[in-house]
Amino acid sequence: MPVISESHLAGILATEADHIVNILPDNLESRHFFDARRLKTLKPGAVFYNIGRGAMVDQAAQLDALRSGRLKAAWLDVTEPEPLPDNHPLLAEPNCFITPHVAGGHFDEAGTLVRHLLKNFEHYVRGEPLCDQVM
C-alpha cells in the first residue's frame, strides 16, 4: 500500500472541499501556507475561514482569489497585521467578512451570553429579527 503524506492528503481534500478552515499555529513551516499556489488548487467557489493565525495566509493572494471568484468568500478572524489598516483592500471586498478576533474571557462573560440568548429567544418567539444574526 502506498504511503500518502499528510500534505498530499490535505491537497487532495482541498481540491474537493467546499469549506476550508485554517487553524494552523504560527511557525516557520506554516507561514504563508495558504499562498498563491495553494489557493489556486482550491475547488472553485470554496469558502475559506481563517481562525488560526494571520501569517498563515498570503493576503495578497487571498485577495486575488476572492476577486477572481476562485474563493466564493473568506471569513477572517485573524489577519496580518491585526487589525488591518483602514485602507486595506480586504476591508472593501464584499465577499470578505472580518470578525473582531475577540475570543472571550471578559468579566461576566457567561452572564452576557445568557442575557443575549434570552433576548434573542424573546425576539424569536415574537417572530422578530434576531440580534447579531450572522447568517
- The answer on 32 and 68 residing in a single domain is yes
pLDDT at 35 over 80: yes
- Answer yes or no: is 112 within a domain: yes
Q: Note the residue count of the chain.
A: 135
In three-state secondary structure terms, 7 is helix
Domain that holds residue 47: 6-103
C-alpha cell at 53: 493565525
Asked if residue 45 lies in contact with residue 19, where contact means CB atoms within 8 angstroms, the answer is no
- Answer yes or no: is 1 within a domain: no
**pLDDT tier at 4, thresholds 50, 70, 90:** very low
Asked if residue 33 lies in contact with residue 62, where contact means CB atoms within 8 angstroms, the answer is no
pLDDT at 75 over 50: yes
CATH number assigned to the domain comprising residue 78: 3.40.50.720
| Given the residues 31, 82, 88, 123, the one annotated as active site | 82
**pLDDT tier at 101, thresholds 50, 70, 90:** confident
Percentage, residues of the chain above pLDDT 90: 61
- The answer on 124 and 86 residing in a single domain is no
**pLDDT tier at 9, thresholds 50, 70, 90:** low
- Answer yes or no: is 79 within a domain: yes
- The answer on 114 and 90 residing in a single domain is no
**pLDDT tier at 8, thresholds 50, 70, 90:** low
CA distance 35 to 117: 39
- The answer on 19 and 81 residing in a single domain is yes
Asked if residue 32 lies in contact with residue 58, where contact means CB atoms within 8 angstroms, the answer is yes
- Answer yes or no: is 18 within a domain: yes
- The answer on 75 and 110 residing in a single domain is no
- The answer on 34 and 45 residing in a single domain is yes
- The answer on 66 and 40 residing in a single domain is yes
- The answer on 97 and 39 residing in a single domain is yes
- Give the count of domains, the chain: 2
CA distance 19 to 36: 17
| Given the residues 67, 101, 115, 116, the one annotated as active site | 101
Asked which of 11-20, 41-50, 54-63, 101-110 is least confident by mean pLDDT, the reply is 101-110
53 has catalytic annotation: yes
- The answer on 98 and 34 residing in a single domain is yes
- The answer on 112 and 60 residing in a single domain is no
6 has catalytic annotation: no
88 has catalytic annotation: no
- Answer yes or no: is 128 within a domain: yes
